[in-house]
Structure 1
Amino acid sequence: MKKKTDRKQLVAFNDPNSPVSEQFKTIRAGIDFSSIDSTFKTILITSPEAGSGKSTISANLAIVYAQQGKKTLLIDADLRKPTIHKTFSKNLYTGLSAVLTDEISLEESYQPTEVENLFVLTSGAIPPNPNEMLSSKKMSSVLEELQQQFDLIIIDTSPITIVSDALVLAPQSDGVILVTRFGSSLKERTKQAAEQIRMTRAPIIGAVLNGVTEKKSNYYYYAYK
């Protein structure tokens, strides 16, 4: 029996006309306006620390792009604390780490969702060497191949100031979005995260600030100039 996607955090799917869903569409529009001179094919999403809500942002942003008609792939490249398989009720093990170790083919790895045009590539089993796997030539070739098959790829990665996984993936993306949480993300930690991203020469598309008010679904997007 097919499991249904019924997660509260997937508000863009469960309630596409809600004010919260409109916020994600606003974020999507902000990204699109940022790419006037070039098309963002691969977007990496990270945060200064854990608990920012980056995976929720990644999932809902992928949904609104798919709803726009783009064939979208959401990759869970957080090989330390993956969540995408739970969010979409998908198989964890037929995922990224299995592809990188040649256990399965790339075509076998990404899974369709109940959202039309949206596919997910789960993390696969948690490996002992996440950073080495993500910085491998195999990972580069996997991304290159996926870019030929999808209109847009969104990569959810580990917090950038805690481990260096996002740093090795950033140069392979067209841009980075930094997710922070009001009242939790320290100013110095956020500044450190932005500086680390800039060192990779990957452009920072913008940032999403969560929890601006007590209302549950307040997301604020701003673009870097």
Structure 2
Amino acid sequence: MWNKKKKLDNNSQKNGINLITYSSPQSPISEQFKTIRTNIQFTAVDKKIKSLVFTSADPSEGKSTVSNNFAVSCATQNTKTILIDADLRRPTIHRTFGLSNQVGLSNYLSRHAALDEIIQPSIVENLSIITSGPIPPNPSELLGGQRIKELLKELDERFDLVILDSPPVNTVTDTQVLASVVDGVVMVVPQGIATKNGVIHAKESLELVHAHVCGAIMNRVTRSKSGYYGTEYYGIYK
């Protein structure tokens, strides 16, 4: 495991504007992320949710921003959290947190790296990161192999919560594969951008693999769209 904490570099500090739970932990939006965590846990009746996939119906709908902020929020509440960039096609987490992406998830899944070689500490206490690693030619095959189950089992023993940022459901099959091996799935749905048909199709695709869809987080909801008193609102809905 990497044992040296890194400060966010200049580029990540610019991207870090999206990490409002880190830059403004007392803000109304940061408080909403804390509430979301509580609501997600209430969606599980028989067992505690320890692994979550964050996804969206289509690209550029904010699922990485939401998953990153959710991970930071959980970590700051003394939950030992690990965030995994499971988007092996368009990874972003290494840039957001200012981390190296030379070795990551793709190396582990292809058996070219051990687990301790791919876990990196972040600037946030209690939050570790696994970046995507080099983009492989066969993301779906890697994510669908036995190795991902071994990874989740090991991380379940080391961490309180495992969060995976995965590709959009309607674009590739990667998320369906991941959804079948985690405790829950959260859809990110931006108001005014996501289409009703797109969201319905994504939900049906997840249900085909018997995924536990915890609900949807509606983002990019502004005062002009909803009458909400703040500038932007995040909430989870079943």
TM-score, normalised on structure 2? 0.90
Number of residues of Structure 1 aligned to a counterpart in Structure 2: 223
What letter corresponds to residue 31 of structure 2 in structure 1?
Answer: E
One-letter amino acid matched to 1:134: L
Partner of 1:155: 164
Alignment pair present for 1:122 and 2:131: yes
Task: Give the CA RMSD over aligned residues.
Answer: 1.5
Secondary structure at the residue paired with 1:211? strand
Deviates more, 1:144-153 or 1:121-130: 144-153
Match of 1:71, as an amino acid? Answer: K
The whole-number CA distance in structure 2 between the counterparts of 1:93 and 1:164 is 25
Q: What letter matches 2:28 in structure 1?
A: P
Amino acid at match of 2:197: E
Other structure's SS at 1:31 match: helix
1:33 aligns with 2:48: no
- Structure 2, unmatched stretches of 5+, are 225-229
The one-letter code of the counterpart of 2:79 is K
Q: Is it true that 1:141 corresponds to 2:150 in the alignment?
A: yes
SS at match of 1:148: helix
Q: Which runs of 4+ in 1 moved over 4 A?
A: none
Give 1:2 deviation, angstroms: 3.7
Q: Distance in 1 between matches of 2:163 and 2:6?
A: 25
Residue 18 of structure 2 aligns to a residue whose secondary structure is coil
Structure 1 position 170, deviation (Å): 0.6
Letter in 1 for 2:73: V
- The letter for the 2-side match of 1:217 is E
Task: Using the TM superposition, give the Cα deviation of residue 216 of structure 1 relative to its aligned residue in structure 2, in angstroms.
Answer: 4.9
TM-aligned CA distance change 1:2 to 1:148, over 3 Å:
closer
How far off is 1:126 after superposition?
0.3
Displacement of 1:20 in angstroms is 1.2
Query: What's the CA shift string for 1:81-107, capped at 9, x where partnerless?
Result: 000000100111221001112222101
Length-normalised TM-score, structure 1: 0.95
Sequence identity (%): 43
For the pair 1:72 / 2:104, whether they are aligned, the reply is no
Alignment partner, residue 64 of structure 2: 55
Matched, 1:218 2:222: no
Match of 2:227 in 1: none
Amino acid of the residue matched to residue 37 of structure 1?
A: D
Deviation per residue, 1:85-140 (Å, 9 max, x gap)? 00100111221001112222101111011111000100000000000000011121
Which whole-Å CA distance do the structure 2 matches of 1:76 and 1:210 have between them? 20
- The match for 2:210 is 201
Whole-angstrom CA distance in 1 between matches of 2:231 and 2:130: 28
| 2:46 pairs with 1:3 | no
The amino acid of 1:221's aligned partner reads: I
